[in-house]
Each structure stands twice: as C-alpha cells, then as structure tokens.
Structure 1
Amino acid sequence: MTARIPGHPEITRAGPPGPHWTLDEEARPRRLGTPPQEGEFVRPLTRRQVEDRMGELGALLSRTSSCDPGIRAPSNQDSGTAFRKRLAGLVRRPGFELLVAEEVGAAGEKVISACAYGFPVSGDGTWWRGLDGYLPEVLSRLTPSGKLFAIGDILVERRVRTQDQSRDWNLARRLQKRLLADHAGALGVTLADRADADTYRALLSWGWRRLPTTASRPSRFDSRCLLVLD
C-alpha cells in the first residue's frame, strides 16, 4: 500500500491522510445500515500483546484468508502455524506495528475481527520476502531514509472485502490508513499473489494500484506483483 512523494514524476502524492480513529474509540452495538466504525474500534498491540494473542490472530487468518498468498507453508505445516511463526519473527523488527479491530462479543468480551501489520523497510540489506526484486529504482532510493513502509497482511472478514470498499470507513481502508498515518511521510508497498484473485481484487478496491509494468523488473509471468497505495 502506497503513498507518493513530491519530486518523483512516477510517484505523485495524494492529499494528506484523513483523520483516523483514536485509541479511546468505544465499541458500540452494530445497527443495521450504520458504518462499520459504529461497532468496531482500531488499536495497536504491543509486542507482548501480539505474543499473548497469537492464537486469536492465527484463527483470524484461517477465518478470513481465501488463499493466504503470503505464506508458503511446508507440507507438514498448516497456514495458521506458518503465519504465527512468521509473525513471531517479524514482531521483533524495528518499527513493526500491528493493529487490530475489536468488537464486543455476546458475553461482553472483546473479539479480534480484523488486523493489519507492517514495518519500515530499511536500507541495511534486510528485505521483506524478496521485496527488493520488485522495487523500481525510484522506490529503492527511499529505503535508507526509512520512508518505505511494507504492509504484510490485511486480514478482514469477507463483508469488508465485498461491501463499501470505496468508503473511508471501510475497515480495511481504516487499518491501512492508520498504519501509514502512524509513519508520517512513508510510502506504503505490498506484494500481491497473482493466483489469489479474490485478495488482489480486494486490494484494488481499497485504493491499491499496480505500478506501470516498465517500472519494475519482474516479468508478467512472475507469481507476485508490487502494489502501491495513494
């Protein structure tokens, strides 16, 4: 997911991010026809909280992912296990942030209904999933300054993928906007799996777009493509 920077013709900057929901948002019962923010609020988890709620996050992945494009699990490991293992490593990266959306369950408990996470891509040679192979030069130049932010996953229920995708209060849009707003001036990027058409279409509906084919090195036959967010 991407923002754009002045001074680069290929990458034009959209307007400033709109207001995002603060930590004191209160979850209220969902009423028919009301926007999603009426029933769900967004907040970050600390590293310890991520570790404590890893089981819930793995269950969320199983419940929301159509094909889980980012995970290449070994044959003896299901996608939920692979996801938790990968997340346990990523959470230690400098600048890592994971946001959850929570709603109030039937017994009054808070239940994770969505999450998104990401981290700044540094220029120290540590890359995310081979991301450097997909970055055009104009984006690679941002890594030393920490102005490139990789969003690893946006896990949301199917209704968020298929309903009101263009609305600012769409839960996926709120999550990705909040991640980038918390890293002011950063350009967001993500890799999409061409085989997961459902997720690819959802990302496009939330404002993501592909760079021109001449801007990145992989051929059109490559299994993944780079997406950016305005």
Structure 2
Amino acid sequence: MSRSQIADRLQELGALYAANSVVRPEEREWRSRAFLRRLVTDLRRPGFALVVAENTPLTGCAYGFPFRGGLFEIREIVVPQRVREQSPSRDWNLARRLQRRLLDDHGHATGLTLVDRTDVKALAALRSWGWRDTSGTPYGIPLLDPRCALLLGR
C-alpha cells in the first residue's frame, strides 16, 4: 500500500489490530491507539512497506522496513487468533504469506523482528511461522533489553 492509501485506512488498520489483539477487551482501545502511533512513526522510515490481506474487510496486515546489514525488520504482523493457532507451519498460512511477501517484494533474504521475552504466545506463534532465535545479542540490541531478536530466512 502507498503512504496515502495507508493514511486513508488508518482507522480500519486500528480496528483490525484491536479485533485481533490477544488482550482483555478493556485494553483494546489504548493498544489500538499505540499501534497506530507506531505505524505512523514507522511510516516515515525509508523503504517502509505494508501489505494487507483482504476479502472485503481487512483480514490481516504486516509491515516493516529495511534494517542495517541487509535485513528487513518486520515490525508487526496482525492476523486473527485462528491463524496463530491453526496450521501455522503450512505455507498457505496467512501470517507466513504476509511476512514472505514483505521480504520478497523488497529483495531481502532475511527478516528480523524483536519480541518481548515475556510474550510467550507471540514467541510461540512467530516460531511456528518459521522464525528462529538468534544467539547472543546481535544487531546492537543491549543486554538488558527485554526483547529478543528472531530471524526469518529463505
């Protein structure tokens, strides 16, 4: 999607995030606003890209941008909970297709994502979609950072 298309669909993207957040219902609104703030900030990064899956309504999205060393950081993958739980290792899985599309469209062989170490559900989902743990603290991530780095390669 182009930047103007994203700007036109911000509320829809926020609603998609809220509908697919694995949080208590009372947290969805502020988490949706936080997602939109991150998205708008990241939208300004060189090489930013966002892909969506939609039939009539949006059903999923993923976005990222080039990162130093020839990597592409995938910042967010937003898909329904059933996608996280049903056949996550299959190539046709929506999350796998979205992340692969981002990498393929931008000529990157390896994706990078950062995940809170305590978010076991997100870590499990990402690992089931082909992400693997890195050793040590590569890519300039400080030792005390609460996130861990995961890589996705071809």
Write out aligned runs for 1:33-44 (5 A): none
Note the C-alpha offset of 1:89. 2.0
Give the structure 1 partner of residue 122 of structure 2: 199
Q: Percent identity?
A: 51
Select 1:165's aligned residue among 62, 72, 88.
Answer: 88
For the 8 Å contact 1:208–1:227, the answer to whether it is kept is yes
Give the number of the structure whose alpha-carbon radius of gyration is greater. 1
Query: What is the Cα deviation at residue 168 of structure 1?
Result: 0.4
Supply the RMSD in Å over aligned alpha carbons. 1.9
Who is 2:32 aligned against?
Answer: 80
Q: TM-score, normalization: structure 2?
A: 0.87
1:202 deviation in Å? 0.1
Cα offset for 1:203? 0.2
Shift in Å, 1:186? 4.1
String of CA shifts for 1:152-197, please: whole Å, max 9, x gaps: 0000001110011111000000000000001214421000112221
Question: Following superposition, which runs of at least 4 residues in structure 1 exceed 3 angstroms of deviation?
Answer: 213-219
Checking the alignment, whether the CA contact within 8 Å between 1:66 and 1:199 is kept in structure 2 is: no
Structure 2 match to 1:50? 6
Cα distance per residue 1:91-130 (max 9 Å; x no partner)? 1221111000002xxxxxx2001000000124xxxxxxxx
The equivalent of 2:26 in structure 1 is none
Report the TM-score when normalising by structure 1: 0.59
Q: Alpha-carbon deviation of 1:198? A: 1.0
Q: Which structure would you say has the larger RCO, counting Cα contacts within 8 Å and 6 or more residues apart?
A: 1
Tell me the equivalent position of 1:115.
Answer: 61
Q: Secondary structure at the match of 2:113?
A: strand
The question of 1:176 aligning with 2:128 is answered: no
Please state which structure has a larger fraction of its residues in strand. Answer: 2
- Structure ranking higher in helix proportion: 2
Q: Which amino acid in 2 is paired with 1:151?
A: I
Task: Supply the AA of the counterpart residue of 2:66.
Answer: P
| 8 Å contact kept, 1:102–1:113 | yes
Taking a change above 3 Å as real, the CA distance of residues 168 and 80 of structure 1, as seen in their structure-2 partners, is same
Q: Distance in 2 between matches of 1:183 and 1:81?
A: 28
Task: Name the residue aligned to 1:92.
Answer: 44
What SS is found at the alignment partner of 1:189? strand
